[in-house]
Structure 1
Amino acid sequence: MPARPRLRIATWNINSLRLRAPLLRRLIDALDPDVICLQETKVPDELFPHDALAEYGYAHVAHRGMKGYNGVAVLSRLELAVADDAPDWCLKNDRRHLLVTLAAPGGPVDLHVFYVPAGGDVPDRAANPKYAHKLDFVAEAGAWFAARPGLRRTVLVGDLNIAPLEHDVWSHRQLLDVVSHTPAEVAGLNAWRDTAFVDAVRHFVPADQKLYTWWSYRNRDWRASDRGRRLDHAWVTPDLVPALAGHTILKDARDWPKGSDHVPVQIELTL
């Protein structure tokens, strides 16, 4: 029997595309993804570095960016179409979401790329507008997906800026009052996921095992202390769960020269 076609989707908060574009070669060499989803590209659409990325072999590119912060992009070996009906989340036009349809084996796959607001430092809606925006964004996203029951062949990836499980952070007890792991954020993210999705990485890694994708720049020896959080996620609709064939968290990328504080996450499906 011939092997079923694969689809590898990688997601990475690159933390400035123009600064770190050369590191995409290392990602490609390590993971050989068919699709690369980027967050925090920090580049307006008119300055997107198409020429610098052309050598990487991803002929199909979509992006939504702005100057200095936020921004999302998709680099794909597969043909794609960009949806023109994606919401303007919280009416801020802050370029945190991109929806494309991939011409994938076996039929189209809808791919959502998200960059959820970080939320500032104070976990208080009244005192911190950034935290309020984050909670509102997550709630609005959850409501939007809840209004679309029966989604199929859909993948959602990105820097969701929330570590929902006890072992998605280095210390559940010490981080309960730290933005990214507060009960309000966790409840919102879980409600969003449960509208339509399964956590594809935790499909492979049991919930009682520590798992991180981000380590702070402030930590001088991040490997020794290993005070990480799992902020970067990949979800799939239940119909795609049987197609899940593997995952990779490219932890070594945290040591790349001038690397991001996030590392790439990849899922592989056989379609």
Structure 2
Amino acid sequence: MSFEIQELPDVIKVFILLNLKRKTSTHKSLLKKRIDEICANDVCVEASDLDKALKEMVSEGLIIEDGDYIRPTPQGLKLGKEWRNLLLKREPILEVVAGLVDGSIAGLVVVLSVFMSGLFAKVVTFAALLTLVAVAITNFSSFLLGGITEDLADIRSLQILMRFSLSDIPDKNERNKSLMLVKRLFMLLHKEVRLSNLYAALICGITTFLAGGIPVVAYIVLPEPANLITALTIVGAMNAYLIRYRSKKSRINWKKILLETLLIIMAATVASLLLGNLG
């Protein structure tokens, strides 16, 4: 199928791809029922429209038809995942990266600050918890509010583009049904986006706290000099995972990301330590 949504079957295909689950057969009547629910029981999609879209998906290699049941092909699953990521923001890539970066920097700054100042364990515990909780809460709040705002704006833009493309359909009846289905679909997506952003913000906050807390706990619990070595090793392992994660998601060789990631983390850590010493 083309990425551009040009006809009613294209809209139906997107809906089907969003609803198909991995290696699970779905009855055609269930898909029709879900579409009717989205349309609020208005007849915006008829059975013949659904059958036409399904036949096109079979010919495109996106689904396999087995009587009244359909199931996705590997290509269909892949395309469905891409549509879910685009429309529902299901994969919190930014939040995971931010959590790992902020958490590891906060933890590293706490460990190095304590090591250089020679503070006692109780003071370390209080300062570390206060710092990490503040960073985690800030990340959660920022990504929740900012994520919802940004994603809804993106979805609104995508909806406008789809409506503009569908407005060229010559048949008035098909055009009206297409526009109605898109309108109802995006109303549902607005609710899904809020839930996805809540999940992503939680991931970011928890990742931030754990990425910073684990090396700090290791530094407090273990004896010297194993505590410092272990804490720095943990931070290094987290950054190695961060580089691998960024490389995988951006599809860029890890060697190109390595220097960029290390420079940013080192610069942020040094700046934080310098500002702390000035205070």
Greater C-alpha radius of gyration? 2
Task: Identify the TM-score tier after normalising by the shorter chain.
Answer: under 0.3
Query: RCO higher in 1 or 2 (8 Å CA, sep ≥ 6)?
Result: 2
